[in-house]
Chains A and B, each alone.
Chain A
């Protein structure tokens, strides 16, 4: 097919395949965070948890309502939804999207996906404060990119990870980048995964296993 015709067909095919929500970068990032949130819940269930869903008022939601930009866990501006993760004989956990967490330096950081103890979440809602890093069991920084991940994103994750203390802090991206991978592999041996898209089954499985391992350790404590 001549290139001009090919481009014209691509234009038509793209037009038919684009959801309106794909046209803003923030929406695309949001849906990616939703995917990683789902992978965490799947890992928890595999590890034996019972999963249910609540909104900020304690009701079971008919629709998920998530934050599109980071907010406070205690906000009642919208009926934001979270997942309740319960392991037998262990204090329950909550999984949230886009909440701010206090780091070691007492600075508020954004966690794209955060799993924390329910006790801490309830205290935050009651006292209108943000959760402390020490109560966050899993924190994930998600990045969706159309191309290679810029190096500065990996660098800022390393800083974030330090301030949220080590262990179960993950940097999850849909693409890759030779430089970012080199740096993360060198300085941050654990807690990062690249090429996390459904078709990369090996990478997705490895990430899910890492989340599962975090839950296994939580159950053991």
Chain B
């Protein structure tokens, strides 16, 4: 897969997420991608910078810079196309797979505590938008999640294939 194809897959996957109501996942992943990654690089520092007003330069400012000692400085760089795609795949795993696991774990704890396993979340100012969770549903998601997990794994391998 080349970078152009990776970009196309990223767009296609984002479109799929948007169509099934997971546009917020893409949005959050893009936030991370846009922020870039911080790497530490050894660079020559600037030892001395003398700014003086002089003309006729376009900015009206000239400066003299001399090289200083080498130092390790943080620098923000862009993610590669394959890294971007990996972020989106991780985002899908974080939400779909982990959320079911979270529901399942919560259900298990509540059962141990003899607590209800049905939850209604209600906004006191907008009760009509109540959201209901039956935590026991998570227990039946296993095979579906395994299938999804293996497909995402296959996609990850395809990204690396040349």
Whether both chains belong to one complex is answered with yes
The segment from A67-75, A107-115, A123-131 that touches chain B is A67-75
- Does B54 belong to the interface (CB within 8 Å)? no
**B129 neighbours in A (Cβ, 8 Å):** 68
User: Once the chains bind, are B116 and A61 in contact (CB under 8 Å)?
Assistant: yes
User: Once the chains bind, are A71 and B131 in contact (CB under 8 Å)?
Assistant: no
* Shortest distance between the CB of B120 and any CB in chain A (Å): 5
**B5 neighbours in A (Cβ, 8 Å):** 3
Alpha-carbon distance between A65 and B115 when the two chains are bound, in angstroms: 12
Alpha-carbon distance between A92 and B124 when the two chains are bound, in angstroms: 26
Task: Given A1-B154, A3-B1, A17-B144, answer yes or no on A175-B94 (Cβ-Cβ < 8 Å).
Answer: yes
B18-32: CB near A (< 8 Å → 1, else 0) gives 011110110011011
Identify the closest chain B residue to A61 (Cβ): B116
Identify the closest chain B residue to A200 (Cβ): B98
**B130 neighbours in A (Cβ, 8 Å):** 68
**Number of inter-chain CB pairs below 8 Å:** 185
User: Once the chains bind, are B101 and A67 in contact (CB under 8 Å)?
Assistant: no
Q: How many residues of A contact B (CB 8 A)?
A: 61
Task: Given A6-B155, A67-B124, A198-B101, answer yes or no on A51-B119 (Cβ-Cβ < 8 Å).
Answer: no
User: Once the chains bind, are B123 and A18 in contact (CB under 8 Å)?
Assistant: no
User: Once the chains bind, are A14 and B20 in contact (CB under 8 Å)?
Assistant: yes
Contact residue among A6, A18, A67, A178 (Cβ-Cβ distance under 8 Å from B158): A6
User: Once the chains bind, are A197 and B102 in contact (CB under 8 Å)?
Assistant: yes
- Does A104 belong to the interface (CB within 8 Å)? no
- Does A64 belong to the interface (CB within 8 Å)? yes
The segment from B43-51, B56-64, B65-73, B145-153 that touches chain A is B145-153
* Shortest distance between the CB of A65 and any CB in chain B (Å): 5
User: Once the chains bind, are A145 and B148 in contact (CB under 8 Å)?
Assistant: no
Task: Given A6-B155, A30-B131, A66-B121, answer yes or no on A14-B101 (Cβ-Cβ < 8 Å).
Answer: no
* Shortest distance between the CB of B149 and any CB in chain A (Å): 9
User: Once the chains bind, are A11 and B21 in contact (CB under 8 Å)?
Assistant: no
* Shortest distance between the CB of A188 and any CB in chain B (Å): 20
Alpha-carbon distance between A12 and B96 when the two chains are bound, in angstroms: 13
Contact residue among A25, A78, A148, A199 (Cβ-Cβ distance under 8 Å from B122): A78
**B3 neighbours in A (Cβ, 8 Å):** none
User: Once the chains bind, are B123 and A198 in contact (CB under 8 Å)?
Assistant: no
New A-B pairs, 4, CB < 8 Å, besides A31-B99, A78-B127, A197-B101: A6-B158, A18-B96, A42-B109, A147-B94
